[in-house]
Structure 1
Amino acid sequence: MPRATLADCDAVAGHYGRLSFLAVSARELVTWAAPAAGEHWVDVATGTGEAARALAAAVGPEGQVLGTDLSAPMLEQARQYPPQPGLSYALADGATLPVASESQDGVLCAAGLFFMEDMEAALREWQRVLCRGGRTVLSSFTGELMAPLPSLWAARLAPLGLRPVVPPAARIASLDRAAELLTRAGFTQLHLEVRSVPLTIRSAEERWEHIVQGLEGLPLRALSAAQLEELRTQHLTDLATYFAQGPATFQIPLLLAQGEKR
């Protein structure tokens, strides 16, 4: 399936913050990271700032959080949220952070490292900005999110010659791969875990809105209004079985990884 690009992320920025699976995953990672009050953190690939806001709440007014992203439209959305003490944003590549060396207690990246062309270069940059004993904490996914919903959507698009755009999470789809990347970048004291995080979707219509608002829906730009409405009707029928009893719960296979700077 096609990989998401920066242009794709820019295109969906206006609705990206409404995707509940991203918010749930980001908050889970921050809780797992357990930042302490007063610490300084960078949230790399912050998107619309879900993880950055959670970090800022955790470190409190004495701490600092910098959310960085390559997408200006994403950062524009992040800045629409109410301000929090110590929280700021910057347009920056994850491999060239606008941060002094050995100045941060932590670097966090929620489902973002796998978008970066040179993941090892990014991790080495995070090493640079961390204080000794500082931590890099990141997440990815080990399988299909909310299975079987993405496969169901791909099957519905296939007869039209279309394929959903997907995040390239397969680049970090196992604990072994996450450990390899962290170790090669010089991190020690690794802590790795896979969690199955539940996500409840209220209806087939809500799932359709998730598709339209996210990367999965980018192929819809190629369709006419009539084709789009026909596809919507067909896919709501596909989904009806899963929501016959009302809201349904699906699983997010969340990979969590942490390494410490010597």
Structure 2
Amino acid sequence: MGAVGGSGALVAPLLWGVALVAAGTDAPPVHTLAEVLFCQPAMPSLGLAVTFDADQLFWFDFPRSRWTPRLPDLPPWPPALEPPAQLLRDATLCQDLRRTLTELATGKLPESKGVPVADVFPMEPPALGEPNTLVCMVGNVFPPAVTISWQLDGVPVTQGVTHTHYTPTSDLAFVRFSYLPVTPAAGDIYTCVVTHEGDNASVIAYWVPQEPVPTEVLETALCGAAMALGILLALLGVTLMVVARRGAHG
């Protein structure tokens, strides 16, 4: 559980499970199932996610009072497990605790904040003129209140942009993803801009499509490099033989 400062978030792990698999090995891998609830003054004011090894499985839609799978092919959440009424009570308790802890900590403890770290990469191997999807992965988010936006050559882009919900990590921070469908062209500059609510600074990550080297050109370059290396080794061998003979005569 973590909460610091006048505008910070309260993060509470509701459930922690550990499973060991593949018995018979010296050090079997450990898998972690976590259910984490957070509440804060900023939007979103409430969040609840179930993760397995830091991958989000489900998140709870508080306005609609229902569980939503992260991927469409996941089975639905069992209705008898943690009914919405119980989760709403937990959310109310979280907000009450946050307000109480805020009153006690304000002016005495520094507010906990993380500096977001952004990285942009294509979902598929990039090729100019071929449709693809750019992913902006934003980590070290705390509190979970960031705005992610896209730009192409400095112009804002909103068409087709989608965002994931916040996924908790083991260090009580969060990670969030944003997706942008693209058809890259030479000279394009894509920008992912991450802004933390209440801060005047933004974190920016760039992605510039590169023209892939044609296969024929790459093969020719490799053959040329191999030939040059062979000639160099041959000259080196001749030089060593001459030096050895001179040493023997001397």
Normalised to the residue count of structure 2, the TM-score between the two structures is 0.22
The structure, 1 or 2, with the larger RCO (C-alpha pairs under 8 Å, 6+ apart) is 1
Q: Structure 1 length normalisation: TM-score?
A: 0.22
**When you count strand as a share of all residues, which structure comes out higher?**
2
Which is higher, the Rg of structure 1 or of structure 2?
Answer: 2
Which structure shows the bigger proportion of residues in helix conformation?
1
